[in-house]
Chains A and B, each alone.
Chain A
Amino acid sequence: MSHLLPTSIDETLALLQRADYVGDRALATVLFLSLRMGRPLFLEGEAGVGKTEIAKVLAKSLGRRLIRLQCYEGLDTASAVYEWNYAGQMMAIRLSEAAGDKDRVTLQEDVFSERYLIKRPLLQALQPDAAGAPILLIDELDRADEAFEAYLLEVLSDFQITIPEIGTVKAAEPPVVIITSNRTREIHDALKRRCLYHWVDYPDAEREARILSVKAPAAPAALTRELVAFVQKLRKEDLFKSPGVAETLDWAMALTELDAVALDPDLVTDTLGVLLKYQDDIAKLQGSRAQVLIDEVRADLAHRAVA
């Protein structure tokens, strides 16, 4: 059974919260607008801030089907939109030959019918669904070629796809489209113009702590506080790749598994690979720097406790 779309920003926020997604109000606003205006939502942000998660949460809480199209270099219509079942078509031709059937028009209609059409994600998303229009997640669009971006223009503005042999397929109810990009290249303005834009930023300390309490409830509260403050400090350091929320979660789980109750330099150095994924970043933090950061974190927390 399909759940109803939220009718206000507060409801959208509540919907996200029910699905264990701790979002801010700006995100709820654009999400609400995107649902109500029937516009694709274009999410940009660093890796690991929860862009893909938004689509998953939305599908789960609205009870819709999630269709995911992971983009990569060389993605073409055959793997993104549709493909014909060539082997099946070949069989059909040979069988009709064997049966002595010579009617060209019937054969053509038979061979290029939906029976031999393999639907890929974009076409699937336009099909009617009992649970309501599906959620279409176009993930990491920046990895696809520009030619594919141009193809998306028709799909995203009219929600229709033209198959030369059959005709135009149009969605009865347009899917909810969420596009994500890591900015490895700039997406063309023509595409962005058709979407609502939102930059997903790293969460602040308060929200990150809430995320941890929801997603990693097993971690001790004191450890969570220190850990969040440490990660927040780390994002201000001059690193090649700052840790995202996904890394914070992994780290919290790793430390919980190790039965840690508080941060200490050796523990941080040993588990840094969970948080940082570049060797030079790890090298910067090894040794005394970790101790300095932990001391600062402790001082800040103590200061806040007094105040």
Chain B
Amino acid sequence: MGEPGPISATGLDGGKLAINVMHFARALRAAGLAIGPGAVQDALTALQLAGFEHRDDVRAALHATLVRRHDQTILFDQAFDAFWRRRGYLDKLMAALSPLAQPEAGKQKKPDPGASRVSEALARSRRDERPAPPPELSARLTVSAQEKLARKDFAQMTAAEIAEAIRLVAQLRLPRDAVKVRRHTADARGSRVDPRRAFRRSMRAGGAGIELAYRSPEEKRPPIVAICDISGSMADYTRIFLHFLHAMTAERRNVHSFLFGTRLTNVTRALRAKDADEALTACGAGVLDWAGGTRIGPSLHRFNKDWSRRVLGQGATVILFTDGLEREGLAELAQEMERLHRSCRRLIWVNPLLRFAAFEAKAGGIRTMLAHVDDFRPIHDLRSMRDLCTALGNGAGRGANPRRWLRIAEAERPIHPGQRPLQARSSAGDFTGSNRMLSAGAVTSPQS
């Protein structure tokens, strides 16, 4: 299999091909595809091999070498059409290099979803979009003030306190949630014999005796998937929760974040930006439904269908951040919650409504969702955020058992709805992490 030599810039067609492919690659790069010089070289080689008789072959050759993910295909197609049509280059080239080829007329089509991004990238004016750096924070609080701040509701904080809270969120001690996996690593105190290392060691001494070497299972941190409600009613808490997610994303690689209002958006890549403000701005840029209404059931449906199989492998923990105030489509919500619960290792629901001491699981949406979660906990102040970290670690925090809320709601409802106030946090015994025994019958029909 003789691999053709690299094409120099002055090779085929007097160097125009190489230069055009390079321009094309640059357009794609501007549209957000990560294309290195190696890929451009590959594209040239591939083009030379594929020939110029068919437009589709040219497209397939460039696609195979320049695209790395399925979702980039739509951008690629747009760029391919726009670039090669605008220049009229491909047709000319095909005509020049292959007498067999019949140039296809460029058909005018409706603009596709990726079109605006590509055309922007193709003709981008260099604007300076960099925002002014945020002023340095000078207010450092004392320990007791921090303690007070930890219990203060995010919604009641002043701008300065929020800034301080964000700083504290970034410093949170993040969960230690490593689990054992099936791979092994060398460990002097391990319990399993590592024959390979044992033999190498014995060879060192000439095979006189065999000194055993040991190994133990490796530990790995399972992925965390956050699905976050950005509807108007949650606005005060969403921003700070995003900071929490950003801190977590910065510390470990496998955090996936999704936002939903009326539609679901994946913001994992946006949150990977080093700077928190930059990351949040990038998050906002991709989301069209900030602080609007919310449709939990359909959003979860989209997540289950499009993403669950891609991000929930390898024992993921899901953090669902929503107030659960869904009025319609409770049957669908129940179905989607059940599916979500079945496809992850642990489902934690964090709900800012738990800030109210008198909170009760009365709303239909909340009761529907409670039946399918492992943990149910507050998220309205720094302390609850710290508790969430503990819970993500190895177990249970206090008062997170969702069954308790359901039981109380069941017991209270027929007599005086909403009469007896309930402590948001009480010391219900340790929660062992599984409510899968709970039968669906424990919840009365949501519509009743």
A contact residues vs B (CB 8 Å cutoff): 5, 8-9, 25-26, 29-30, 32-39, 44, 73-74, 76, 78, 83-84, 86, 89-90, 93, 96-97, 102, 104, 107-108, 111-112, 142-143, 145, 147, 165, 173, 182-186, 189, 192-193, 196-199, 238, 240, 280
Whether B3 and A29, one on each chain, are in contact in the complex, defined by CB atoms closer than 8 angstroms, is no
B60 touches A280 (CB 8 A): no
Cβ of A109 to closest chain B Cβ, rounded Å: 10
In the assembled complex, B313 has its CB within 8 A of some CB on chain A: yes
Q: Give the contacts of B16-73 with A (CB-CB under 8 A).
A: 34, 36, 38-39, 42, 45-46, 49-51, 54, 56-57, 59-61, 63-65, 67-70, 73
Residues of chain A within 8 A (CB-CB) of B59 are 26
Q: For A199, list chain B residues within 8 Å (CB).
A: 70, 73
Given contacts A37-B49, A165-B200, A240-B304, contact A185 B207 (CB under 8 A): no
Asked whether A145 lies within 8 Å of B310 as measured between CB atoms, the reply is no
What residues of chain B lie closer than 8 Å to A240, measured between beta carbons? 304-305, 339
> B394 near A: Cβ within 8 Å?
no
Q: Mark B328-357, 1 if CB is under 8 A from A, else 0.
A: 000000010001000000000000000000
Do B310 and A185 touch across chains, with their CB atoms under 8 A apart?
Answer: yes
- Assuming the A-B contacts A9-B50, A93-B202, A280-B339, are A186 and B310 also in contact, with contact meaning beta carbons closer than 8 angstroms in the complex? yes
Q: Can you report 29 A-B residue pairs in the complex whose CB atoms are below 8 A from each other?
A: A9-B50, A9-B57, A25-B60, A26-B60, A29-B57, A30-B64, A33-B64, A33-B65, A37-B42, A37-B45, A38-B3, A73-B314, A78-B196, A86-B196, A93-B202, A93-B207, A102-B206, A107-B207, A111-B199, A183-B70, A183-B310, A186-B69, A189-B34, A193-B36, A193-B68, A197-B65, A198-B63, A238-B305, A280-B335
A104-B206, A193-B36, A193-B68 known; A145+B61 contact, CB < 8 A: no
Complexed CA–CA distance, A74 and B185 (Å): 12
Digit string of B78-99 for contact with A (CB within 8 Å is 1, else 0)?
Answer: 0000000000000000000000
Contact residues in A for B192 (Cβ distance below 8 Å): none
Q: Is the CB of A197 within 8 A of B68?
A: yes
Q: Does B195 contact A (CB under 8 A)?
A: yes
Residues from chain A with Cβ under 8 Å of B57 in the complex: 9, 25, 29
A-side contacts of B182, CB under 8 Å: 73-74
Complex Cα spacing A83 to B196, Å: 8
| Residue numbers in A under 8 Å from B200 (CB-CB) | 165
In the bound complex, how far is the Cα of B199 from the Cα of A89, in angstroms? 8
Other 4 A-B pairs with CB < 8 A, given A29-B56, A86-B195: A104-B207, A185-B314, A193-B39, A193-B68
Name the A residues within 8 Å of B207 (CB-CB): 93, 96-97, 104, 107-108, 111
The answer on a CB contact under 8 Å between A198 and B64 is yes
Q: How far is the CB of A62 from chain B (nearest CB, A)?
A: 12
Q: How far is the CA of A107 from the CA of B206 in the complex (A)?
A: 7
Question: CB distance B54 to A197 under 8 Å?
Answer: no
Tell me, rounded to whole Å, the shortest Cβ–Cβ distance linking A190 to chain B: 10
- Looking at B34, B38, B57, B182, the one whose CB has the most chain A CB atoms below 10 A away is B57
Bound CA–CA A180/B316 (angstroms)? 23
Cβ-closest 9 pairs across A and B:
A74-B182, A29-B60, A104-B206, A86-B195, A196-B64, A184-B313, A30-B64, A26-B60, A93-B207
Bound-state CA distance A74–B217 (Å) is 10
Q: Would you call A25 and B56 a contact (CB within 8 A)? A: yes
Q: Is the CB of A25 within 8 A of B1?
A: no
The chain B residue with its CB closest to the CB of A239 is B305
Q: Please, how many angstroms separate the alpha-carbon atoms of A106 and B172 in the complex?
A: 58
A185→B64 contact, CB < 8 A:
no
A184-B310, A193-B36, A240-B305 known; A147 vs B183 contact (CB < 8 Å): yes
Smallest beta-carbon distance A134→chain B, Å:
14
**Chain B residues within an 8 Å CB radius of A96:** 207
| Complex Cα gap A93–B65 (Å) | 52
Q: Does B291 contact A (CB under 8 A)?
A: no
Asked whether A44 lies within 8 Å of B70 as measured between CB atoms, the reply is yes
Closest to A148 in B: B183
B71 to chain A: closest residue by CB? A199
A96 to B70, CA, bound (A): 58
* Inter-chain contact A5/B1, CB cutoff 8 Å: yes
Which residues of B are found within 8 Å of A183, using beta-carbon distances?
A: 70, 309-310
B311 CB-CB contact with A under 8 Å: yes
- The answer to whether B69 and A33 have CB atoms under 8 Å apart is no
Query: In the bound complex, how far is the Cα of B308 from the Cα of A182, in angstroms?
Result: 13
Chain B residue with minimal CB distance to A283?
B335
Alpha-carbon gap, A225 to B34, bound state (A): 43
B335 partner residues in chain A, CB cutoff 8 A: 280
Contact across chains for A192 and B56 when beta carbons are under 8 A apart: no
Chain A residues, CB < 8 A from B239: none
- B184 interface residue, CB < 8 Å from A? yes
A97-B207, A184-B309, A193-B68 in contact; A76/B49 too (CB < 8 A)?
no
Chain B residue at minimal CB-CB distance from A198: B64
Most chain A beta carbons < 10 A, residue from B59, B60, B183, B196: B60
User: Cβ of A26 and Cβ of B56 under 8 Å apart?
Assistant: yes
Q: How far is the CA of A55 from the CA of B59 in the complex (A)?
A: 23
Nearest CB on A from B283, distance (A): 19
Q: Bound state CA distance, A235 and B60, in angstroms?
A: 25
- Say whether A76 contacts B184, CB under 8 Å: yes
Given A33-B46, A38-B1, A112-B203: A197 and B64 interface contact (C-beta under 8 Å): yes
Contact of A197 among B4, B38, B67, B309 (CB under 8 A): B67
The interface residues of chain A lying within 8 Å CB-to-CB of B36 are 193
Across the interface, name the chain A residue whose C-beta is closest to B58. Answer: A29
Could you say which residues of chain A place their CB within 8 Å of the CB of B34?
A: 189
